[in-house]
Amino acid sequence: MSAGENGTTTTPFAAILRRCVDESPFAIGGAFADAEGEMVDSYAKTMSTHDWAILTAHYGVVLGQLAAAFGTLHFGGPEFFIARHDRIEVIVHAVDDGYYALLAFSQPPEIEVALERVRIAAIALRREMR
């Protein structure tokens, strides 16, 4: 852990998420969660920690459902999925052992750039887990 802004403690996971969000145009936040949807860490520009945890958990349920459906069809779990809504866009990317990263945007991102940023963050989170 290292000292963050205002003397707060920043975990390695939060630092990875912050870098991903800061380097992704229109990103409003990122989260790292376990297979149960429990948020391990996050960085958000516009939402409260509580609201961010609820958003993260809901998308974890979706990822779990997709993994179950595709596993039943013997395709294996999804690497990522994208949800586009009227007011927010979300990319959820598998990390390892049921853990996942989430990146949310206020406007549609350039998809190739956004996916690359989330992929890089997922790799960094995976390394940090070990």
What is the structure's pLDDT at 8? 53
What is the structure's pLDDT at 46? 85
Q: Give the pTM.
A: 0.89
What is the layout of strands, in order, in the sheet containing 27-33? Answer: 39-44, 27-33, 99-105, 89-96, 80-84
The total domain count for the chain is 1
Look up the CATH number of the domain holding residue 96. Answer: 3.30.450.30
Residue pLDDT, tens place only, 26-62: 999 999 999 999 999 999 998 888 999 999 999 999 9
Q: By residue range, what is the domain housing residue 69?
A: 2-129
Q: Read off φ and ψ for residue 24, nearest 5 degrees.
A: -115, 110
